[in-house]
């Protein structure tokens, strides 16, 4: 099994080769601002999927923070602009990359789980653990179904890339869905 450092190297290579280094540049810029104002964070979404072993394309950055309004206010004063019509998105004025800010400890969809609450302040990406990432993706898929089929596909690819066991530590509220995916992946005549 690959290490986190190997997955990280693969993810960086993907971003560089696809011309999406602005994604990482924007993320690091946002994290510097958040650290300046003592805002803890988790990086989630497609960037986290890349970092945890499934090298797929992404066009934005997703960050979980305790207080979305406060984070948007501070980012808007430091190189980002709030997007019209969105209470949770800013855009880097320089790179034009969007940053979606999500409320830690709260639900953003009808799925069974709230987003994890970040506690660590850092200008380095605090990427969700694989357990929390898969649990969050499954919760979103369960809550919104076909509208979030990419979350389901991400989980399938993360299970494969990390060669996860059936008893991998996902949240109990999404465990049955995880088992369905794992079982389907391990039946030789069926594809997920």
Is the pLDDT score of 104 beyond 50?
yes
Model pLDDT for residues 11-50, shown as the tens digit of each residue: 555 545 445 579 999 999 999 999 999 999 999 999 999 9
What is the structure's pLDDT at 192?
56
In sequence order, what are the residues at sequence separation of 6 or more whose Cβ sits closer than 8 angstroms to the Cβ of residue 137?
Answer: 49, 151, 152, 154, 155, 158
Confidence of residue 103 (pLDDT cuts 50, 70, 90): very high
Domains of the chain, by residue range, sit at 4-185
Is the pLDDT score of 191 beyond 80?
no
Q: What is the DSSP letter of 74?
A: H
Model pLDDT for residues 137-188, shown as the tens digit of each residue: 999 999 999 999 999 999 999 999 999 999 999 999 999 999 999 999 999 7
The closest alpha carbon to 130, from 165, 106, 98, belongs to: 165
What is the structure's pLDDT at 57?
82
Q: Are 139 and 128 in contact (CB under 8 A)?
A: no
Q: Provide DSSP, 114-176.
A: PPPPP----SS--BPPHHHHHHHHHHHHHHHGGGGHHHHHHHHHHHHHHT--TT----GGGHH
Q: Provide DSSP, 6-47.
A: HHHHHHHHHHHHTT-HHHHHHHHHHHHHHHHTT---EEEHHH
The closest alpha carbon to 34, from 105, 101, 108, belongs to: 101
What is the structure's pLDDT at 21?
74
What is the structure's pLDDT at 5?
64
Class level of CATH domain 4-185: alpha beta
Q: DSSP 3-state assignment of 89?
A: strand
109 to 102, 153, 174, 176: CA distances (angstroms): 11, 18, 14, 19
Higher pLDDT, 10 or 121: 121
Is the pLDDT score of 128 beyond 60?
yes
Model pLDDT for residues 106-123, shown as the tens digit of each residue: 999 999 999 999 999 999
What is the structure's pLDDT at 188?
79
Distance CA 181, CA 192 (A): 7
């Amino acid at each position: 099994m690959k290490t986190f450092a190997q997955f990280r190297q693969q993810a960086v290579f993907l971003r560089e080769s696809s011309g999406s280094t602005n994604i990482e540049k924007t993320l690091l810029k946002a994290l510097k601002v958040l650290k300046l104002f003592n805002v803890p964070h988790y990086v989630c979404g497609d960037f986290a999927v890349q970092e945890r072993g499934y090298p797929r394309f992404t066009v934005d950055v997703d960050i979980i923070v305790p207080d979305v309004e406060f984070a948007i206010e501070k980012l808007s004063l430091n190189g980002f602009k709030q997007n019209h019509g969105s209470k949770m998105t800013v855009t880097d004025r320089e790179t034009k990359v969007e940053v979606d800010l999500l409320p830690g400890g709260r639900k953003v969809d009808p799925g069974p789980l709230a987003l994890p609450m970040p506690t660590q302040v850092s200008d380095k990406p605090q990427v969700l653990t694989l357990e929390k990432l898969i649990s969050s993706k499954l919760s979103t898929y369960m809550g919104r179904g076909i509208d979030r089929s990419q979350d389901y596909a991400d989980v399938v690819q993360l299970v494969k890339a990390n060669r996860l066991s059936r008893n991998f530590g996902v949240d109990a509220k999404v465990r049955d869905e995880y088992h369905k995916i794992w079982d389907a992946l391990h039946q030789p005549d069926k594809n997920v």
